[in-house]
Amino acid sequence: MRKKAFTLIEVLVALSIFALAAVGLGAAYSNVLLSRMALKEKGVGEEDFARCRAAMLETANFADIEKGGDVYLPDDRMARWKGKIEPTTVADLFRVTITVEIQATAGGSYGAPREQSQWILRPTWSVESDRTKLLADAKQRLLKTRGYDEETGGGTSFISKATTKNGQGNNNQNNNKKPDNNSGKDNNPKNNQNNKTDPTKSNGGKTPVIQ
């Protein structure tokens, strides 16, 4: 009696299916690991960059910003930064571009530089002559765009007086007054007493007879 068994073709098909499944699962697992590593490195990089940005914001002097500095990071790593300051058209407002280089490992080489720009309000960085000029330019822009004039107290063509719908001003209020019902009567109380009728003269001047 012959025993039932798989043929060679069936075994090869099963092995090929198992191999394909193993390759797919292995690729998915490796992608998950790489994604987690990339997210971790990105998170660490953002934290390191934030430390460098905080060090720049704590620096008060104009020259020290452009000179830059070093920041100690976890795992005995280092980062170096420097800034570039550019004035703007607004008084005391500056555009600062920070460039950061971070070590991947302790004692290793620095990575590719990263840049980020932000606006900082620092009155101590401004020169008094530049601030005065910017403020004067801002006043001129307000005068042209909004019609504001500080010397005349804002009295320019941009500001107009309020008018009514019919363009008649306050005269319209007098026309809309309701007529007085008592206009034809005499409001003097003395004259009103004379207008009262005498009850004794209600019968043609005859005195009424009481029965």
The predicted-structure confidence for 75-117, as pLDDT tens digits, reads as follows 888 999 999 999 998 888 999 999 999 888 888 888 888 899 9
d(CA 125, CA 110): 31
Tell me which of 184 and 126 has the higher pLDDT.
126
pLDDT digits (tens, 9 = 90+) for 121-146: 988 888 888 888 988 888 888 788 87
Would 49 be classed as within a structural domain?
A: yes
Residue 188 has pLDDT above 60, yes or no: no
119, 94 contact by CB (below 8 A): yes
Residue 5 has pLDDT above 70, yes or no: yes
Residue 93: strand pairing partners: 121
With CA atoms as reference, report the closest residue to 81 among 57, 107, 52: 52
Would 184 be classed as within a structural domain?
A: no
Would 54 be classed as within a structural domain?
A: yes
| CA distances, 87 to each of 56, 78, 81, 120 (Å) | 17, 30, 20, 10
Structural domain of 119 = 13-125
Number of domains in the chain: 1
Question: Tokens 């620096």, residue?
Answer: 59
Q: Which pLDDT score, from 0 to 100, does residue 3 have?
A: 66
Tell me which of 48 and 183 has the higher pLDDT.
48
Would 181 be classed as within a structural domain?
A: no
Residue 169 has pLDDT above 80, yes or no: no
d(CA 100, CA 54): 12
Would 96 be classed as within a structural domain?
A: yes
Q: What is the pTM of this model?
A: 0.49
C-alpha torsion sign, points 112, 118, 123, 127: positive
Would 79 be classed as within a structural domain?
A: yes
pLDDT tier at 170 (50, 70, 90 boundaries)?
Answer: very low
Residue 149 has pLDDT above 80, yes or no: no
Mean pLDDT of the chain: 75
Mean pLDDT of the region 147-168: 54
d(CA 97, CA 89): 17
Would 29 be classed as within a structural domain?
A: yes
Would 90 be classed as within a structural domain?
A: yes
Q: Which pLDDT score, from 0 to 100, does residue 10 have?
A: 86
Residue 80: strand pairing partners: 70, 101
59, 65 contact by CB (below 8 A): yes
Q: Which pLDDT score, from 0 to 100, does residue 137 have?
A: 87
With CA atoms as reference, report the closest residue to 83 among 64, 111, 102, 101: 64
